[in-house]
Structure 1
Amino acid sequence: MPLSAPPSPRRAPVRADPVVRPVRAEAPSGAVPSRLRPADREVLWLYLLTRVAVWTTAYCTRWLFPASGDARVPEPVLASFEHWDWGHFLNIARDGYFPGEPGEGDNREAFFPGLPLVLRAVHVLVPHWTAAGLLVSFVAGAVAAVALARIAALHLPGSRAGGRAVLFLLVSPCAVFLAAGYSEALFLALALPAWLAARRQRWLLASVLAAGATTVRISGLFLAAALVVLFLTTLTTRRDEGAGRKRDAAWLVLPGLSALLYFGYLYGRTGDPMAWKHAQERGWYRRFRVPWEAWSQTWHEAFDHTQATGYAAQFQADLLAMVLGLVLLAVLVVRRRWPEAVYIALTLWALGTSYWYMSVARSTLLWWPLWVGLAVWSVRRRWVALAYLCLVAPLSTVLAVTFMSGRWAG
């Protein structure tokens, strides 16, 4: 439906259902519709406009914030996206996980292989590695945008919720990472269609997509757990034979098998199937700590002047994001949205039980219940959208410039 079309005045507003129920598909046999609808095309136009904004910011950053204060010639625009984690993905795609002896290197095994594999494949057609990474994120982001809009439309049919959810995601403070050669866009391009397929009870498709998401990030296992809970909550609505239910349940093991393949590879190379986790501990201090100790340590780094101001500001952002995540979890529990609550709870546990918080703010990009919830709220309360945009627009610009100028941005 067009994003500008208001709800029909002859109908009572449709309220979002607080209980998860399966949604019947528009296409035959309940398949996820593949053709673009008018609402999808409007979402893609919105996506393209925000990409123009990102590239405009990148261009201005190269001229206004050069690495050297007295530079006369700006660096190439692509250099704006060649920072931090991109180097790890590039090294894996180009040289593999263990170009030297196992256990020696930059802890790159902490990163799952999905994005490097796709990047290596695209590089066959796009010789420039950075351009190949940006192309992957560009296409994946478009897929994710359409899927997110369709998910939001399931919660509040006949409204602008779909477009609002996409808008809120694309202008969120950490949205620059959806444009960079990072794993967030590719993960969403697999995870959101998986969730949409599951809502339509297409469990094989959902499981295959979730397995793909698990090759990209460990968060794919959290998605798989949410799919299991969604499957269990829909059992009472199923009318097929028990064999059909067992078959659908069997598909849900695919994301776990996907993760086991990577763990098995690490075991074969290092003798340690959890080498990815130990690499995170060595490189990023992701050692287990109880939640209150992790909060205390992050608060100390954020406000006790132990870090440079740029890093301290990121710790403050991670604290705020953790609070936001806990509020979101509480709302999901109160509204009895158990599958989404499981996904958010597992995510918060993983992020909130390390030495300190790291990249929690960036992780909000993957919290689709947040963007759907904000969209539904904004449809019912007109001031929400305006307040949100006024609040996050400057933050999004500042974080984009921070990242593109080579500073730590989460």
Structure 2
Amino acid sequence: MTTTLPTTETPGAPGPGGGPRGPGSAPAAGAEAGPGGRPRGRRRTPGRVAERIRGRIPERIRGRIPDRTPHWLSGRLTPADLRVLRLYLFTRLGLGLVAYASAWLAPSGTADRTPAGWLSRWEQWDWVHYRRIAEYGYFDAFPGIDVPHDNRVAFFPGFPLLLRAVHTVVPDWTAAGLLISLVSGAVAVVALGRIAALGRPDGGEAGPRAATFLLFSPAAVFLAAGYTESLFLALALPAWLAAKRGNWPLAGLLGAAATTVRVSGLFLAAALAVELLIAVRAQARADGSDGSDGSDGSGGTPLARRLLPLGWCLLPAVPAAVYTGYLRAHTGDWMAWKHAEERGWYRDFHTPAESLRNTWHNAFGHLQSTGYAVEFQLELAAMAVGVLLLAVLLVRRRWPEAVFIALNLWALGTSYWYLSVPRATLIWWPLWTGLAHWSLRRRWVKDAYVGVVAPLTAVLAVTFTSGHWTG
């Protein structure tokens, strides 16, 4: 599975000394000159060929020629991307070791001299639902099914469909799920790094830092497990990058694919729409018109024409509508998805005050066992982080990101109690990019995060892989 990532590089970038990297320019530092003066160690990629061709054109002419280098020619990995991927692979190895240790520390069954299987450490909770959907579909019976309490339809079909496809190549279901998350996570962290680097002179440092904050977040174990977080991010973050580059068709298509994975794709669609409206307004102002006359101020182009990409922003609603129609055809219930959420996870509507009160009582009111109580405490902490993040985004007038976070908080904060909020923080990319930018201004932020927050990563990874996440 691959996802194209918009790049932060520009073809025809100046070489050492400020001049274009054309013929006759000095070899890059560390490159050995070969026969004919050509530096060794630099491959003739299509992107570099395009740079050299542009370098031969006089400056006064080159400035008038639009750069139409195909996207795939300039999409190579940057040094910052490679740093992000290196960190990603090391953290995957670390989580694999955590799962190995938990197999020995918390073996299954009573034979305490025999460790549990390593793959079994990842077969927890929602993974069982995803596998059953991939193997049996949404409505076929299987051994041990309790039909009145079967809530499979609460899970969107994107991940199970991909799992079924990968299973045709990887026979073991669990290994197939882990492979999906491994590849998706690599795409996601590179995209996150590029988002953090957008428009910043220190982008080469901001990207790896954003990835660091994400990969050492308390719920990071879910990025490695056969869950939907990695796959959603691998689609949603490139969609956001495409929107920032003005590529609305790509943004809409990737956003639609993200919606097949999680309902949060609809929240992404709302953020994309707000981003487009802001871009149109900014362009209208730059052209000398506020759009009130029906034109963009640069020759009478109708404002409606600039809003045509709004259709692409609404494309993510299509998969949700199709899935709703599919469930209606099989169950006769237009709200089958919502009703499954209510039956299985108490996600019926309550006011934010009621939801907070119920969560607080279960966290500190001695109503639950200590294992469950501490999970509710984590829910409260994650919700507090989300509210603080939303406040910062509103103060800084980051309207698109604020819309995305606000919709997430509304969905999570109006159930009977808070549920899965720590997992949801993984898809809040403004949190990780914001922490990265803050840490570049205040060096102590990264130290505090690594010292105080990151240790929870290992604790919760052991909690998940040992089967104690929910009590």
Output the amino acid matched with 1:34. G
Q: 2:174 aligns with which of 116, 130, 137?
A: 130
Q: Tell me the residue number matched to 1:92.
A: 133
Alpha-carbon contact 2:280-2:307 (below 8 Å) kept: no
Cα distance change of structure 1 residues 303 and 155 upon mapping to structure 2, 3 Å threshold: farther
Among candidates 97, 103, 127, match of residue 62 of structure 1: 103
Q: Aligned partners of 1:358, 1:30: CA distance in 2, in Å?
A: 44
1:205 correspondence with 2:266: no
Between the aligned partners of 2:362 and 2:193, the Cα distance in structure 1 is 37
Report the CA distance shift for 1:377/1:409 in structure 2 as closer, same or farther (over 3 A).
Answer: farther
**Alignment equivalent of 2:185, drawn from 125, 141, 144:** 141
> Which residue of the partner structure matches residue 117 of structure 1?
161
- Maintained 8 Å contact 1:186/1:216: yes
User: Could you give the per-residue CA deviations for residues 294-346 of structure 1, whole angstroms, max 9, x where no partner exists?
Assistant: 00000000001111111110100101111110000000000000000000000
Q: SS at the partner of 2:316?
A: helix
Return the match for 1:362 from 404, 415, 423.
Answer: 423
**Identical aligned residues as a percent:** 60
Higher helix share: 1
Please tell me the residue identity of whatever aligns with 1:114: G
Q: How far apart, in 2, do the equivalents of 1:206 and 1:272 lie?
A: 31
Deviation at residue 155 of structure 1 after TM alignment: 5.1
Does residue 280 of structure 2 align to residue 235 of structure 1?
yes
Question: Which has the larger Rg?
Answer: 2
Cα deviations by residue, 1:62-93 (Å, 9 ceiling, x for unpaired): 11222346511111111110000000000000
Deviation, 1:247, is 3.1
CA–CA distance in structure 1, aligned partners of residues 80 and 438 of structure 2? 19
Amino acid paired to 2:386: G
Shift of the alpha carbon at 1:407?
A: 1.3
Give distance in 2, aligned partners of 1:46 and 1:173. Answer: 16
Query: Deviation of residue 192 (structure 1)?
Result: 0.3
Q: Is the contact made by 2:149 and 2:344 (CA closer than 8 Å) also made in structure 1?
A: no
2:309 match: secondary structure: helix
Over 3 Å counting, the alpha-carbon distance change for 1:324 and 1:27 in structure 2 is farther
Structure 2 counterpart of 1:396: 457
Structure 2: segments with no counterpart, 5+ residues: 1-7, 9-65, 288-295
| Residue identity opposite 2:451 in structure 1 | C
CA RMSD of aligned residues (A): 2.0
- Separation of aligned partners in 2, 1:283 and 1:27: 53
**Match for residue 221 of structure 2 among 176, 181, 186:** 176
Ranges of 4+ aligned residues in structure 1 off by more than 6 Å: none
1:167 correspondence with 2:212: yes
Equivalent pairs counted in the alignment come to: 386
Matched residue type, 1:368: W
Deviation digits for residues 218-273 of structure 1, max 9, x if unmatched? 00000000000000000034478446524312212210111101111011111112
Q: Deviations over 1:154-203 (max 9, x none)?
A: 15332411100001100100000000000000000000000010011100
Counterparts of 2:268 and 2:360, CA distance in 1:
29
| Aligned partners of 1:137 and 1:178 also within 8 Å | yes
- Cα deviation for residue 378 of structure 1 reads 0.5
The separation in 1 between residues aligned to 2:436 and 2:328, in whole angstroms, is: 44
Distance 2:224 2:324 in 1: 29
For the residue of structure 1 that corresponds to 2:281, the secondary structure is helix
Check if 1:346 corresponds to 2:403: no
Partner Cα separation in structure 1 for residue 110 and residue 399 of structure 2 = 52
The answer (yes or no) to whether the contact 1:191–1:223 under 8 Å persists in 2 is yes
Specify the alignment match of 2:119 in structure 1: 78
CA–CA separation in structure 1 for the residues paired with 2:467 and 2:359: 23
Distance 1:43 1:27, change over 3 A: farther
1:291–1:353 contact (8 Å) kept in structure 2: yes
Q: Provide the rounded CA distance (Å) in 1 between the counterparts of 2:193 and 2:110.
A: 43
Residue 316 of structure 2 corresponds to which residue in structure 1? Answer: 255
2:108·2:115 contact (CA, 8 Å) conserved in 1? no
Are residue 192 (structure 1) and residue 192 (structure 2) matched? no
More displaced stretch, 243-252 vs 288-297 = 243-252
Give the partner amino acid of 2:133.
Answer: I
Query: Residue type matched to 1:94 in 2?
Result: E
* 3-state SS, counterpart of residue 120 of structure 1: helix
SS of the residue corresponding to residue 254 of structure 1 reads coil
Larger RCO: Structure 1 or Structure 2 (Cα < 8 Å, ≥ 6 residues apart)?
A: 1
Q: Report 1:220-299 matches (<5 A).
A: 220-238=265-283, 241-242=301-302, 244-299=305-360
Which residue number corresponds to residue 384 of structure 2? Answer: 323
Task: Decide whether the 8 Å contact of 1:30 with 1:201 is kept in 2.
Answer: no
Residue 372 (structure 2) pairs with residue 306 (structure 1): no
- Distance in 1 (alpha carbons) for counterparts of 2:146 and 2:314: 30
CA-CA distance at 1:37 after TM superposition: 1.5
User: What corresponds to 2:34 in structure 1?
Assistant: none
**Cα distance in 2 between the residues matched to 1:345 and 1:181:** 27
What SS does structure 2 have at the residue aligned with 1:216?
A: coil
Q: Distance in 2 between matches of 1:66 and 1:364?
A: 30
Aligned match of 1:154: 198
